[in-house]
Amino acid sequence: MPVYTLSDLPRVIPIFPLPGVLLLPSAKLPLNIFEPRYVAMTRDALKSDWIIGMIQPRAQTHSGEESDIYLVGCAGKIIALSETDDGRFLITLKGIARFKIRDELPLLRGYRRTVVDWHPFKEDMHTNDEKRSAIDRQRLVGVLRQYFEAHQIHAKWEEIEQAPDSQLVTSLAMQCPFTLEEKQALLEAPGLADRAELIASLLAMALTADLSVSATRH
């Protein structure tokens, strides 16, 4: 996928609100597109720049209502695509950069479009974040071990130990069972080190909560 600059990115993008689903720059996100309006959104994206913005709704809404959404999301480019016999799209997005919503346009074929600002997150397009953002890896992996042991989660620790910082932090942010609000905080974290520290803190708080629940049962 080509490296983007601010001038390459569109001012208007379609958005796909999904609670608890996080896309981060450079990460890959597989999606099963089946709702008619989002099938239309995907078809339109394929006719233009192949870019879709992932965003989280602030809360669940009743069927048919448009949800209130957070103002910060992450845009991805479609890098893999297949269409099923029943009309669904199976796509993979690769994160480009985060964006801030400045305005929302009228619906187009049922899906939402927004005017976005990329400037607050222009650093997302730099590929050398690894060198500039040292993380406290010892603390992060230590808390992760405790959390996995407490929840009896089996992990390939050799692979975890060998994973680059950015890959480890991004994978944990996207895959760990954090709340909607916690995932949004991870998305909005300024940089890699901040995101790593937040993950470690969230896991540590979850462990403390588990101990409190266990203590009340005895």
Helix (H, G, I), strand (E, B) or coil at 49: coil
Q: Which of 125, 140, 162 is the last residue of a domain?
A: 125
103: closest CA among 90, 113, 95? 113
Total domain count, the chain: 2
Kindly report each contact of residues 159-168 with a partner whose C-beta sits within 8 Å and lies 24 or more positions away, as own/partner. 164/130, 165/130, 165/133, 165/134, 165/135, 165/137, 165/192, 165/196, 166/26, 166/129, 166/130, 166/192, 168/137, 168/140
Angle at 75 between CA 100 and CA 202, to 5 degrees: 75
CA distance 171 to 195: 11
Confidence of residue 5 (pLDDT cuts 50, 70, 90): confident
The answer to whether residues 112 and 156 belong to one domain is no
> For residue 77, what is the domain's CATH number?
2.30.130.40
Instruction: Mark whether 91 and 133 lie in a shared domain.
Output: no
Q: Which residues span the domain enclosing 38?
A: 6-125
Note the pLDDT of residue 212: 59
Q: How many CB atoms lie within 10 A of CB 159?
A: 10
21 and 100 together in one domain: yes
The more confidently predicted of residues 160 and 128 is 160
Q: Are residues 10 and 88 in the same domain?
A: yes
Q: Is a pLDDT exceeding 90 seen at residue 129?
A: no
The torsion of the CA quartet 4, 7, 9, 11, rounded to 10 degrees, works out to 170
| Domain match, 121 and 40 both | yes
Tens-place pLDDT, residues 18-28: 999 999 999 99
The residues that bridge with 17 in the sheet, in sequence order, are 55
Q: Higher model confidence: residue 189 or residue 59?
A: 189
Specify the higher pLDDT residue, 199 or 62: 199
Report the pLDDT averaged over residues 27-36.
Answer: 97
pLDDT band at 148 (very low <50, low <70, confident <90, very high): very high
Q: Is the pLDDT of residue 213 over 90?
A: no
Q: Name residue, tokens 């009228």.
A: 106
- Decide: 71 and 100 in contact? Cβ < 8 Å: yes
Confidence class of residue 205 from pLDDT cuts 50, 70 and 90? very high
Instruction: Give the end of a domain, one of 125, 146, 162.
Output: 125
Q: What pLDDT shows up at residue 62? A: 56
**Dihedral angle, C-alpha 93, 129, 176, 61, nearest 10 °:** -50
- Residues 56 and 108 reside in one and the same domain: yes
- Whether residue 136 sits in one domain with residue 120: no
120 with 181, same domain?
no
Q: What's the pLDDT at 6?
A: 87
In a domain, 1, yes or no: no
